[in-house]
Amino acid sequence: MIEIESGAWEVMVSHAESTFPNECCGAMIGNIEGDQKRVTAAVPLENAYTGAQGARYELRPEDLLAADRKARAAGLDLIGIFHSHPDCDAYFSKTDLENSCPWYSFVVLSVKSGKFDHAASFLPNPDQTAAEKEELTWPKS
Amino acid sequence: MAKVLIPTPLRQYSEKHDSVELHGTTVGEVLASLTARFPDLRKQIFNDEGKLRSFVNVYLNDEDIRYLKKDATPVEMGDTLSIVPSIAGGATSVAEPPTTLSKEEILRYSRHLIMPEVGMEGQLKLKNAKILMVGTGGLGAPLGLYLSAAGVGRIGVVDFDVVDFTNLQRQVIHGTKDVGRKKLDSAADKMLDINPNIRIDRYDVALDSSNAMEVLKPYDIVIDGTDNFPTRYLVNDACVILKKPNVYGSIFRFEGQASVFANPGGPCYRCLYPEPPPPGLVPSCAEGGVLGILPGTIGLIQATEAVKLILGIGEPLVGRLLLYDALAMRFRELKLRRNPECPVCGDHPTVTKLIDYQQFCGMPHREEPAMSVAQEGEIEPTEVKAKIDRGDDFLLIDVREPHEYQICSIPGAKLIPLGDLAKRMSELDSAQEIVAHCKSGVRSGKAVDFLRQAGFKKVRNMKGGILAWSDKVDPRVPKY
């Protein structure tokens, strides 16, 4: 299961809301103990998709590499990726699955009419043919 | 020899090492050493054919090896290899145009679906259409209500204003409970209540040359529902440049106009009005008033034209300017032609990118405070009140119109409408101190200038007019 701490959560929600009506993306940093993942910091990253970004996002590997280095320098780990679905539910779409990787938790934030609505986390399989839902907790305000 | 950084989730396959030093003279050799040492890592990084998995990128220091010599890229002592996944995605349900309607939508749109001119095909065109509405005021209100009800799938809304009591007489998308709210939120709530199947993009900005192209870009059609010349020229020029039809409407008192500009081959707003009128010549609705129902009529003509353009049916209002006179209850039509000399849509356009429209229309910039016509010789409403209370000998003249005087007035003020001032000057005594007021201070400023030129020396303008009087002296006086 994955738990997001309040500081990181605020960054994720505000990034998702301010990027609305486009999709946002970013990295989640924290630590893993056994099955328990804890996100202590979130890093907003630029959506590098070159077409309309209302329903697409793309992470630059360089940006992810930089986030990974930043995490390592702080003695933490890169443990997940987050992105938003503007005016759409937080499900793992076909596009999400086909362009994912099995190593990280993928948190999807549903933003409806500019406001955060709900979220879910997914773990894609190695062949990117299916994703398992992961238990996600965030600070409810 | 090089250092390989292991991503956190893969450390379960690397005996928990977060980095390992490995032998090899090329990237390929180093990766081979890696999977030889940790066989379980192999299937995470390579596919069954022994190639790097599609989502795996290998970086040598800061460079992707794909842009170097791939596997053959030489490595040296001190180099670092990183394994970085490519990640992308998106809510495909929105990215892929819907090709069906839900059961609920079929019921909702049944009166459209049974008309062959619309039908399933047409309703899906509406669902896949993207329209931008500039403004949620008089014209934007009926536009927003009917376009969402009609099932236009994505509607962009631009407004930075807040709902005010004076809006409610015509801006029917907002209600009394919305006064003080952002028009954007109030309009979006109402539209989503009418039709939750649509998507609304909110733009809480004043459209200007710096943001217009970006805001307009995602949409098929732009509908101009604004009430000022700089935005009207801005929307027109941006639509011509981006080749998007601009559904135009304008309103004043009892009359309105509508047309479709910037449709391929058709004229644009500049073909009709190459230059803006001098500032102040054409009064806005705030200055001249407007019949509350009028924007309903014009906004719905705009909505009709937008829906026709999406469906590709009927005869669009291109090359025609529709004039509506509510008092005569008469529609007239003027033929318009594209002007080959037009600076924007002509054969040799000179305006090919957006300009400064405030300057083009001779307007002061928003951040600059508007200069008062008669800054010298102004008097605060509180001081006027003190003069009245002290019983000072002075004359307070109200230069508004009689119908405005009926709405509210200051006790003791003498009504002389600005237009009558010249012929009624004999009623004034140049030896007596005079204070003039109007609604906000602009007309009384003109009155003060006029009286000074006529030789009156002791005239002053009450700052901010009766609106300021209501704020500073007597809150019982209604504002209008």
pLDDT tens-digit map of B75-134? 998 899 998 888 888 886 444 567 788 999 999 999 999 999 999 999 999 999 999 999
In chain A, what residues touch B92 (CB-CB under 8 Å)? 55, 93-96
pLDDT at residue B279, rounded to an integer? 73
Same domain, B382 and B356: no
Tell me the pLDDT of chain B averaged across its residues: 90
Residue B367 placed within a domain: no
Q: How confident is the model at residue B346 (pLDDT cuts 50, 70, 90)?
A: very high
Query: Active site includes B239?
Result: no
pTM, entire model: 0.55
Q: How confident is the model at residue A95 (pLDDT cuts 50, 70, 90)?
A: confident
Calculate the CA B363 to chain-centre distance. Answer: 19
CB contact under 8 A, B85 and A21: no
Same domain, B249 and B301: yes
B207: nearest Cα among B345, B354, B349: B354
| CATH number, position A67 | 3.40.140.10
Measured between CB atoms, does A78 come within 8 Å of chain B? yes
Same domain, B128 and B238: yes
CB contact under 8 A, A61 and B55: no
Residue B188 placed within a domain: yes
Q: What is the mean pLDDT of residues A44-50?
A: 87
Residue B370 placed within a domain: no
Chain B residues contacting A, CB < 8 Å? Answer: 5, 7-10, 18, 43-44, 55-57, 59, 62, 64, 82, 84-95, 188, 192, 199-202, 218
Long-range residue pairs from B344-349, CB within 8 A, at least 24 positions apart, any chain: B344/B236, B344/B237, B344/B240, B344/B241, B344/B268, B344/B270, B345/B240, B345/B262, B345/B267, B345/B268, B345/B270, B345/B271, B349/B240
CB contact under 8 A, B87 and A54: no
Query: Active site includes B285?
Result: yes
Residue B480 placed within a domain: no
Same domain, B151 and B284: yes
- Of the three residues B35, B54, B85, the one that is the final residue of a domain is B85
Out of A55, A79, A81, the one facing B92 most closely (by C-beta) is A55
Same domain, B183 and B271: yes
Contact partners, residue A70, CB within 8 Å, separation at least 6:
A29, A43
Report how far residue B456's alpha carbon sits from residue B469's, in angstroms, rounded to the nearest whole number: 24
Residue of B285, B345, B361, B408 marked catalytic: B285
In chain B, what residues touch A85 (CB-CB under 8 Å)? 91
- At position A137, the amino acid (one-letter code) is T
CB contact under 8 A, B87 and A55: no
In chain B, what residues touch A25 (CB-CB under 8 Å)? 87
Residue B419 pLDDT > 90: no
How many domains does the structure of chain A reveal?
1
In chain A, what residues touch B55 (CB-CB under 8 Å)? 99-101, 128
Residue B39 placed within a domain: yes
Same domain, B207 and B355: yes
Residue B9, min C-alpha distance to chain A (Å): 5
Same domain, B249 and B392: no
Residue B97 placed within a domain: no
Report how far residue B277's alpha carbon sits from residue B363's, in angstroms, rounded to the nearest whole number: 11
pLDDT at residue B95, rounded to an integer? 46
Q: Is B124 helix (H, G, I), strand (E, B) or coil?
A: helix
Same domain, B348 and B385: no
Residue B58 placed within a domain: yes
Residue B369 pLDDT > 50: no
Report how far residue B196's alpha carbon sits from residue B190's, in angstroms, rounded to the nearest whole number: 10
The lowest-confidence range among A93-102, B119-128, B205-214 is A93-102
| CATH number, position B221 | 3.40.50.720
| CATH number, position B80 | 3.10.20.30
Q: What is the mean pLDDT of residues A21-42?
A: 92
Residue B98 placed within a domain: no
In chain A, what residues touch B186 (CB-CB under 8 Å)? none
Same domain, B125 and B169: yes
Same domain, B324 and B447: no
User: Which structural domain, as residue segments, surrounds residue A121?
Assistant: 2-137
Q: What is the ipTM of this complex?
A: 0.85
- Of the three residues B85, B117, B139, the one that is the final residue of a domain is B85
User: Which structural domain, as residue segments, surrounds residue B401?
Assistant: 378-472
Same domain, B206 and B338: yes
| CATH number, position B459 | 3.40.250.10
CB contact under 8 A, A126 and B44: yes
How many domains does the structure of chain B reveal?
3
pLDDT at residue B376, rounded to an integer? 63
Out of A56, A85, A113, the one facing B200 most closely (by C-beta) is A113
Strand (E) positions, B315-412?
320-325, 330-335, 378-379, 394-398
